[in-house]
Amino acid sequence: MATQQTSGSSDFLNNLGRVYAIYTGGFLAFVILLAILEQLGVPNRILGYLFVFFTLAVYAIIGILSRTAQVSEYYVAGRRVPALYNGMATGADWMSAASFVGMAGTLFLLGYDGLAWVLGWTGGYVLVSILVGPYLRKFGAYTVPDFMAFRFGGNFARMIAVVVLVCCSFTYVTAQIFGTGIIASRFLGMQFEIAVFVGLAGILVCSMLGGMRAVTWTQVAQYIVLIVAYLTPIVILSTKNYGIPIPQLTYGHALQDIIAREQQMLQTGLATVAALKPHIQPFLTYTPLNFFAIIFCMMVGTASLPHILMRYFTTPSVREARQSVAWSLLFIFLLYFSAPAYAAFSKLEVYTNIIGRDLGSIRPWLFTWGELGLIQVCGKNAVSADALLAACKAIAGHPGVIRLQDFVINTDVIVLSTPEIAGLPYVISGLVAAGGLAAALSTADGLLLAIANALSHDVYYKMLDPNAPTVRRLLVARILLVIVALAAAYTASTRPADILAMVGWAFSLAMAGNFPALVMGIWWKRTTTPAAIAGMLAGFGMCVFYLVVTRYFPQAGVSSFGMSSLTNPATGAPLVDVAQVMADAKWIADVPASGANPLQSKVGWFGLTNIAAGLIGMPIGFAVMWIVSQFTAAPSKEMQAYIDEIRKPRGRTVLEEKT
């Protein structure tokens, strides 16, 4: 049985190119088939179901075929994943529902300032490759806490690393499951709470039987679906509008049109200076400090997130780990450098075909989204031309054409509505939905596996029962995976507003908790165990403190910790009048701060937004590690020799796991 499996999988590894080429061809043929069905009059709803269930079925088949009973296959896919394919898997692991559906919308709303996220979510891979990833691969860990425990004296450091890992991964995975629920409910008309658990089934079937090995090969398949889905509508749109199928080149023209149109709208009274954020003008949403702080935290956070780092444990060699980081970023780049094109094309459409239009002659694509409450005109959901007319008539002195300040659009709509804006058949919309689902599922898979592996490998096997036989280890790993997944799905089904806002925090938490210990542990031999533990606790603690105080106890932040209001980037004035709010009994009693509290997430030190809280924690972590190391005995000769080993690609891994 075991030998059969091994020979079967090496056949698979030798034929990866052909397998995935056939898969891609099959997927395209499927899309064409559905396009033909649509022409034959099959209703949209059926097409939506076919899309979702066909792709889910394929992921499930891959997941089941990749089942394994070997520990190293379960935790690190046997360390046999070639650089290119690991790059694709990392791409899918990395790009979440938020990247796929939300990124273009953020760029639409924020213009230049939104690019902080594009930069932050790509540049971090440079740090992964030059500072951390290849060294962890040589070390031979199954999980990030494995490294912390080995380098920094055992289970106390392991426990801290597990806490950091769970903190930053759990909120993140909840948001992904929420994302699958939203997409499934929107395109299949399912009830949201049910859709969440359908998504959950899709996630579990990919990861439970085969662990990392199954997740890897489904993520490759999911990457192909998501990138085809993301690029198709916009390539067609670019060809239609500018005759060149490279939207990343042609949207320069759209930018020029937007700039001209912005001036025109201001002159003709269609927009007020307050409502209009010129698309290319920097620092209107974030102050320069916060703009660069967000970039920095996202980049360093990337190099600290366990579910990303563990992807590089699966390559056959250190050399391939480095190459794999480069492939990962190339595959991620394909999506991120297209997102601004989506934003520009949509913005031009909105500015020219909605703003300034007579209320009676609005293009109908808008009403589909208005019905879902995602587009509002004159303060009301834009469900139909009549509703729109009635809502605007109610506003005193309304000129009868839509002005910029009348129009509100949810960021998710930008990508989802592009096929309709371009006048493409429904099959393309279904394709986009399948892509968004692939993005959410693949990220959720990676995160769940990271959490469950830390709990089963680090907590159960390494700390509770080091003599557990293989069968029991894998059983525990699978049970924990299901438990964590159910907990995340349950949390998501309650629609927790805060959890979604906290996703941005995951990067700061990972950065403050992991980055100093990882970098110092590899690059400075003199880093001692007490220093690392003190540094992790101080850095992570400080980051959590800043997040919790600014979000939940801003009153205490102002009165006890010397925090003040963040500043408005455009005017330089404070965002809130702190003194006035603090004098209001209603807000003083609002502890912990509710979502309506005017101070929540609006106060801080140095005007730093709490999304970039890692910037407060990380330097403290580094400083504490350096100072404490000066006063504690140097690591043993053996440990220093191990660090030398980690730094050289040649030779066996430092940590040899029994399998």
Residues that bind other proteins (CB under 8 A): 112, 115, 118-119, 122-123, 125-127, 129-131, 134, 248-249, 251-256, 280, 282, 288, 291-292, 295-296, 299, 317-319, 322-323, 325-326, 329-330, 333, 336-337, 340, 523, 637, 640-641, 644, 647-650
Query: Is 58 or 116 the residue whose CB approaches other proteins more closely?
Result: 116
Q: 305: exposed, middle or buried (C-beta count within 10 Å: 0-12, 13-18, 19+)?
A: buried
Task: Please state the φ and ψ torsions of residue 46, each to the nearest 5 degrees.
Answer: -65, -45
Shortest distance, position 322 Cβ to other proteins, whole Å:
4
Shortest distance, position 245 Cβ to other proteins, whole Å:
16
Query: Is 156 or 337 the residue whose CB approaches other proteins more closely?
Result: 337
What amino acid is encoded at 652 in this protein? R
Residue with tokens 């709509």: 413
Residue with tokens 């250190």: 318
* Cβ atoms 504, 612 nearer than 8 A: no
Shortest distance, position 86 Cβ to other proteins, whole Å:
13
Shortest distance, position 129 Cβ to other proteins, whole Å:
6
Shortest distance, position 122 Cβ to other proteins, whole Å:
5
Shortest distance, position 115 Cβ to other proteins, whole Å:
4
Torsion angle defined by CA atoms of residues 112, 113, 114 and 118, in that order, rounded to the nearest 10 degrees: 80
Rounded-to-integer distance, Cα 133 and Cα 210, Å: 23
Shortest distance, position 226 Cβ to other proteins, whole Å:
18
Shortest distance, position 559 Cβ to other proteins, whole Å:
35
* Cβ atoms 247, 348 nearer than 8 A: no
Rounded-to-integer distance, Cα 123 and Cα 507, Å: 14
Query: Is 127 or 618 the residue whose CB approaches other proteins more closely?
Result: 127
Query: Is 57 or 130 the residue whose CB approaches other proteins more closely?
Result: 130
Q: Which residues partner with 375 through β-bridges?
A: 409
Query: Is 134 or 598 the residue whose CB approaches other proteins more closely?
Result: 134
Shortest distance, position 249 Cβ to other proteins, whole Å:
7
Query: Is 80 or 380 the residue whose CB approaches other proteins more closely?
Result: 80
* Cβ atoms 544, 169 nearer than 8 A: no
Rounded-to-integer distance, Cα 412 and Cα 340, Å: 14
DSSP helix/strand/coil, 80: coil
- Cis (ω within 30 of 0) for the bond into 592? yes
Shortest distance, position 644 Cβ to other proteins, whole Å:
5
- Tokens of residue 460, six digits: 């159960």
Query: Is 524 or 606 the residue whose CB approaches other proteins more closely?
Result: 524
Query: Is 187 or 251 the residue whose CB approaches other proteins more closely?
Result: 251
Query: Is 119 or 372 the residue whose CB approaches other proteins more closely?
Result: 119
User: Which contiguous run of DSSP H or E holds residue 556?
Assistant: helix 554-561
CB atoms within 10 A of CB 494: 12
* Cβ atoms 217, 80 nearer than 8 A: no
Query: Is 485 or 522 the residue whose CB approaches other proteins more closely?
Result: 522
Shortest distance, position 622 Cβ to other proteins, whole Å:
15
* Cβ atoms 218, 60 nearer than 8 A: no
Rounded-to-integer distance, Cα 383 and Cα 381, Å: 6
What's the CA angle centered on 656, arms 84 and 134, to 5 degrees? 35
Q: Where does 331-386 show beta strands of DSSP type E?
A: 375-377, 380-381
Residue with tokens 């509770």: 464
Query: Is 253 or 380 the residue whose CB approaches other proteins more closely?
Result: 253
Rounded to whole angstroms, what are the CA distances from 226 to 24, 335, 571? 12, 9, 40
